[in-house]
Structure 1
Amino acid sequence: MVVAVFFVLLFAAVPIALVLALSAAFYIATSGNSVLFESYAQQLFGSIENYGLLAIPLFMLAGELMNEGGLTRRLINMARILVGGFRGGMAYINLVANMMMAAIMGSAASQIAIMSRAMVPEMEKEGYSRPYAAAITAAGGLLSPIIPPSMLFVLFGVLAQVPIADMFIAGIIPGLILSGLFFLMITLLGLVQQYPPGRWLSFAEARQALLFGLPALGIPVLIIGGILTGTVTPTESAALASLGALVVGRFVYKELRFSQLPEVLKRTALNSGMVIVLISAAGVFGWVLVYEHIPQNAAAWIVQQTSDPFVFLLMVVLALLLVGMVLDGIAALILVVPILLPVAQADFGISPYQFGVVVCLTLVMGLLTPPVGAGLFISSAMTGESPMRVFRALLPFLLMTLLTLVLLSWKAELVLLLLP
């Protein structure tokens, strides 16, 4: 009955936070267990009583301030210095700029929205098709969950009780691998499609782009450098990034006005509020799953199927690809980690860092796959292009993401190499 209620609410387009909270409440009401009933409110609030979750609204605020303050545009101009002269230069610029933004925003959906507005019109002006421009921009959003900082890594660290800073470090090499495969795919596609020729900036233009871009580049350097050196915690780095984006946007570039701050804070509050409510509701639902011994039963079934850690991780990837198609990544993460992480650690000896990177990257692919595909529809809405045309252009990059997942599942060293 609980499963039936869950799917009826889900396919009735009820917000996922309510689906989780109401399904848990229905179970408690029908179980007749007064202890569960009395603990419902405590579990609802207990799920969000964690200092690490403060990083989520702060990283969202940093991204909003950077976009309003003109920092995003300066980072794109800096990317032109590095790759702008290659044939298909705008495609490479798009990807490099997405790498820079991934080191700031931590949210794939927000990154896709912001970069679609900034990059797709520019690529169209230079002769790229709109579906392809939208697809490259959306693919760049896949870098957000693994290049630090990452909102999903923050949440996974909270759920798995591992240091969030170490999760960020674990994502560096996987992020570079995925970026390298994306560059390779752009090159291969360019051989077939004959991209427009690029243009190297003159020395004067490059010097100006570099000088104007350095203050903006200081934000990701501040975030990643502070975390890697242990100077600040991830939450403190998010606060510093927000402050830095405010100072640079207002006093250096002079594009951010104080009159814009109420609207920026409102958007940040609404977006982060939705995430926190979802975490709270999913925490209650996960509590019910544990009470019903779902994780233990799942563990017993999986162990019967295989004893190979690599095969287990491939099974997880395939299962989560299906889950990510119908559930929001954050909700799915909260549901699957309490079930699968104990199995991965106890029965297969898999590091929580390797498991976390694989799970987070797999789930974020759901942002770009039908039928839900929030990131796909964001890209479509921002560019005015059909979601299915964007999806077809996106398929080569999704295949590169799957290849990355296979590599990360096969070789744990690709995740663990930089960890202390």
Structure 2
Amino acid sequence: MTIALICFAVLLLLGVPIAYVLGMTTVIYIFATDNMGLLLTVPQRLYSGMENYGLLAIPLFMLAGELMNSGGITKRLVNVAKQFFGHYLGGLAYVNVIANMMLAAIIGSATAQIAMMSRTMVPEMEKSGYSKEFSTAITAAAGLLGPIIPPSMMFIIYGVSSGASIGEMFVAGVIPGILLGFSFMVIIAIIGMKQQWPKQERTSMKEKLDSFIKVIPALLVPVIIIVGILSGVFTATESAAIASVVALVVGLFVYRELKLSELPSIFASMVITTSVITVLIAMANIFGWMLSFEQVPQQIAAWMVSLSDSPIVFLLLVNIFLLFVGMFMDGIAALVILVPIFMPLLPAYNVDPIHFGIIICINLTIGILTPPVGSGLFIASSITKVSIGSLVKSLWPFLIVSIIVLLLLTYIPALSLWIPSLK
């Protein structure tokens, strides 16, 4: 086992893709222990890792997001936010956060959202008098809302890995997402008191009403998802299929900006991204199987219990560990590796799996904006041409408030569990 773990660390440091790292480590373990019988069951384990109905939600939600984006959803969301909030001091900063909150209910991916909004909002804010560093920082920070407000790819993967209800994970993310977005707006207000930020002219009520009516079809997708799951009309996976159909109809016949000629490229993008995630999950399954064979989860559980039997201490240690992991590893990769290890610990500390899912997903999402490996940092920096150092300096207030929100969600379970309890 020691040889396998050393190989795991070396391959990670060499920059080998995480899916290959997991698979190669498992094969090295089998040969190092001379347990060739395990090799015969690897194909079955790979297949069983993908044989989960919940995984169908990933390509379907990605399809819905791609269809809505190609159908002109982004500019309509930004426009309606401008109409209602642009006239306040620092209005475009608020618009950035609010537009990201609405966009999160369609995309479900932080990196995709950061890339899209960096191209849309940063030039707009810069033209209005905001510094490029602050504009990039608020855009990157607001991208954290992508995996929290449902639908969320990370929630789906957590549900599949842990056995928790994906539908309950979706609705549990509503209040945390709103709380995080509101916290960012508080930071904007505080910073705005010290700086003379510009504001736009107040628009008439008629203009506001017109922009709101135009965006209603776009907002049908998240409404259908949340209402459908809460009412029990359909599951999270079924809601993804319905959302895709609604997105297609809205893009083709309501906004009329989606072209049939664009569908092949949309499907190709969805297939490529889904394949990457699927291979990662399959490899993580055999890696987790190796850890279980060596009773690593049980050993970690015994060690954690020996440290303290207090849920408060346990959750604090988990958060510190996850924040450290998030600095060096992609969130989805860390999720598929760590969830099988942590799940056996939850009953011992009486921690609800849905509550824990919100904690681990938000914690690892923060990692995309923390150096040295934060993918969100590099995406925003490469698009806006702001140096990583300047971006991190402007990001610190938002990272600090994100950690404060994480701690609130950790120690006030009702913030995550109240809406699921209404089902």
Q: How does 1:18-417 map to 2 (within 5 A)?
A: 18-343=20-345, 345-417=346-418
Partners of 2:133 and 2:390 within 8 A in 1: yes
> How many residues are paired up?
419
Say which is worse superposed, 91-100 or 79-88, in terms of deviation.
79-88
Partners of 2:68 and 2:106 within 8 A in 1: no
| Residue 204 (structure 1) shift | 3.4
- 3-state SS of 1:105 partner: coil
C-alpha offsets along residues 256-308 of structure 1, whole Å, 9 cap, x if unaligned? 11111111111111112111111111111111111111111111111121222
Q: What percent identity do the matched residue pairs reach?
A: 49
Partners of 1:103 and 1:224 within 8 A in 2: no
- 3-state SS of 2:419 partner: coil
**1-side partners of 2:42 and 2:93: how far apart?**
50
TM-score under structure 2 length normalisation: 0.96
**1-side partners of 2:395 and 2:81: how far apart?**
22
AA partner of residue 13 (structure 1): G
C-alpha offsets along residues 337-366 of structure 1, whole Å, 9 cap, x if unaligned? 1111211x2221111111110000001111
Partners of 1:321 and 1:362 within 8 A in 2: yes
Name structure 1 gaps, 5 residues minimum.
none
| Residue 228 (structure 1) shift | 1.9
AA partner of residue 168 (structure 1): F
TM-score under structure 1 length normalisation: 0.97
**2-side partners of 1:74 and 1:81: how far apart?**
11
Partners of 1:80 and 1:93 within 8 A in 2: yes
Q: Give the superposed CA RMSD.
A: 1.4
AA partner of residue 84 (structure 1): G
C-alpha offsets along residues 212-240 of structure 1, whole Å, 9 cap, x if unaligned? 21111222212222222222211121122
Partners of 1:325 and 1:367 within 8 A in 2: yes
C-alpha offsets along residues 155-198 of structure 1, whole Å, 9 cap, x if unaligned? 11111112111111221222222122111111111112222123
AA partner of residue 149 (structure 2): I
Regions of 4+ moved over 4 Å: none
| Residue 81 (structure 1) shift | 3.1
| Residue 200 (structure 1) shift | 2.4
C-alpha offsets along residues 291-329 of structure 1, whole Å, 9 cap, x if unaligned? 111111111111121222122111111101111111111
**2-side partners of 1:247 and 1:391: how far apart?**
41
AA partner of residue 80 (structure 1): K
C-alpha offsets along residues 137-167 of structure 1, whole Å, 9 cap, x if unaligned? 1111211222111111111111111211111
Partners of 1:279 and 1:330 within 8 A in 2: no
- 3-state SS of 2:420 partner: coil
